Amino acid sequence: MLKAERRNGGTADHSLVPSFPHSDSSALDPCVHCGFCLPACPTYLVTGDEGDSPRGRIVLMRSLERGEMSPNDSGLLEHLEGCLGCLGCEPACPSGVGYGRGLEAAREQIFQARGLSPLARLVLGVFRYGKIWRPLFAMARALRATGLPHLLSGRGRFGFGMGMLASSSEMTEQAEQRKAVGEQGGSSLGVTAPPPRGPVAPPTVVLFRGCVMNALFSHVHEATKRTLRVNGYRVIEARGQVCCGALHEHAGDVGGARSLAAANVAALEGRADFIVVNSAGCGALLKDYGRLMGSDAAAKLAAKVRDVSELLAEKGPRPGAPIGLDVAYDAPCHLQHAQRVLEAPLAMLEAVPGLRLRILPGSDRCCGSAGIYSVLRPAMARAVLDSKIASVAEARPRPDLIVTGNPGCLMQIGAGLRAARLPIGVAHPVELLDLSYDEAGYYG
Ligand code: SF4
Ligand code: SF4
């Protein structure tokens, strides 16, 4: 129930509040309240409430900044916490408003005044410490291996959670479960491995492993490494990495995000020419480590960060063997809006001959996953997801696969498709290229 996610009662106290700790609140200054951003906002489209729109939230953030509203005001909290942080409003704005920067500043101010809700504290606490999340995800993997999450996936909260876990499986496992795309694979198509190409000293790439990606999507990490090698990169590993800190930063816990970022900078600094990331949410923050940390080392590291699609697109990439699937690309918000990477994932997929690639209406809109948003506000997250699933259901011909480059989106969209009983799988784009290379015999 959306209503159940709203806070009870008004607790506004109009005590003086500190000014924004972030200097970036000025990013909201250009807003002229024109409203062009409203149709791009998924939460506004669900509720039709001005307070759930970018324009309404900007008014609230400015009031908070000026001390006219307290960070404890229940209405302000409701609308600002209800924001997905998807940044869909930024490209829609003709005035160049930096909505994301303003939201970060407001959330940091709220965090400093109130801390986190008990649920958010619990979830973020888990991701802060590898000693907690590693065994938890190991249990999740063991459960996934039983096949039960696939059988138990459905519409209710439990069924949706099971659908999310089932959707973190490898693309080929999902295909077997659906008995739908298995026949598309077949045996090797007899394409001989291409001769090695590229410079004598190939560019080195260190893989950013992250937390959820490493725990549930290690198959995407393997696909990333294999496809990069085929395209002339030397891929190396680095120990000592932790969660990127994006979940913490989005919640306003900038201190928590900085401490995780510091560990990652120490682990990755000076290791390679590039740092490759295959999770849009992690990549967006890693590219922003310089601003987050305010250090030269972090800025230098951030300048080397690339989404896997960017590195592959830079090389062509090398074409693989044909795969005859209908595929719809869904752009993760933190790839298209935060990183402004639009073409590279499509270039990567175009290297798979025979793929019937489409972009469905609403594919550029948030799926409702949004970090830990789907845990904290499940009803709104599902309402936002529903319009995307409806668009997929209406597509003719129906796609075999939805591809998207972010773990939260893969699990959210995958669970939504399962809840709607649509026989459509989800995959990371690099999984398709990897399958195509495998079919081409590039891996020997
Ligand atoms: S954020 Fe941009 S598009 Fe939205 S109301 Fe302000 S100026 Fe207009
Ligand atoms: S970030 Fe997304 S949910 Fe928040 S105001 Fe902008 S478009 Fe709406």
Ligand 2 site, residue 149, Cβ cutoff 6 A: no
Confidence grade of residue 442 (pLDDT, cut at 50, 70, 90): very high
CA distance 16 to 408: 38
Which protein residue has the closest C-alpha to ligand 2 atom 7? 41
224 SS3 class: helix
* 191 pLDDT above the threshold of 60: no
- Which residue has a Cα nearest atom 8 of ligand 1? 34
Q: Please give the number of the atom of ligand 2 that sits closest to the Cα of 43.
A: 3
Ligand 1: residue whose CA is nearest its atom 6: 31
Q: What is the pLDDT of residues 407-427, one digit of tens each?
A: 999 999 999 999 999 999 999
Residue 273 CA to ligand 2 centre (angstroms)? 34
Mutate to test the pocket of ligand 1, among 28, 33, 337 (most ligand atoms within 8 A of CB): 33
Decide: 100 in ligand 1 pocket, CB within 6 A.
Answer: no
Annotate 167-215 with three-state secondary structure. CCCCHHHHHHHHCCCHHHHCCCCCCCCCCCCCCCCCCEEEECCCCHHHH
Q: Which of 209, 130, 156 is nearest to 164 (CA)?
A: 156
Q: For residues 409 and 76, what is the distance between their CA atoms, to the nearest angstrom?
A: 27
Helix (H) or strand (E) holding 234: strand 234-236
Distance 60 CA to ligand 1 centre (A): 14
Q: In this predicted model, what pLDDT tens digit does every residue of 272-320 receive, in sequence order?
A: 999 999 999 999 999 999 999 999 999 999 999 999 999 999 998 999 9
Question: Which numbered atom of ligand 2 lies nearest the CA of 53?
Answer: 5
Q: 14 C-alpha vs ligand 2 centroid, how far in Å?
A: 26
**What is the reported pTM?**
0.89
Whether the per-residue pLDDT at 439 is higher than 90: the answer is: yes
Residue 272 gets which letter from DSSP?
Answer: -
Other residues' Cβ atoms within 10 Å of the Cβ of residue 49: 13
pLDDT band at residue 175 under the 50/70/90 scheme = low
Angle at 241 between CA 236 and CA 247, to 5 degrees: 125
Q: Which ligand is nearest to the CA of 32?
A: 1
Nearest CA to ligand 2 atom 4: 83
3-state DSSP of 137-174: HHHHHHHHHCCHHHHHCCCCHHHHHHHHHHCCCCHHHH
**Cα separation of 415 and 401, whole Å?**
13
d(CA 364, CA 274): 27
For the Cβ of 285 lying below 6 angstroms from any atom of ligand 2, the answer is no
CB 37 less than 6 A from any atom of ligand 1? yes
pLDDT digits (tens, 9 = 90+) for 37-88: 999 999 999 999 999 999 999 999 999 999 999 999 999 999 999 999 999 9
Which ligand is in closest contact with the Cα of 86?
A: 2
Rounded percentage of the chain residues whose pLDDT exceeds 70: 88
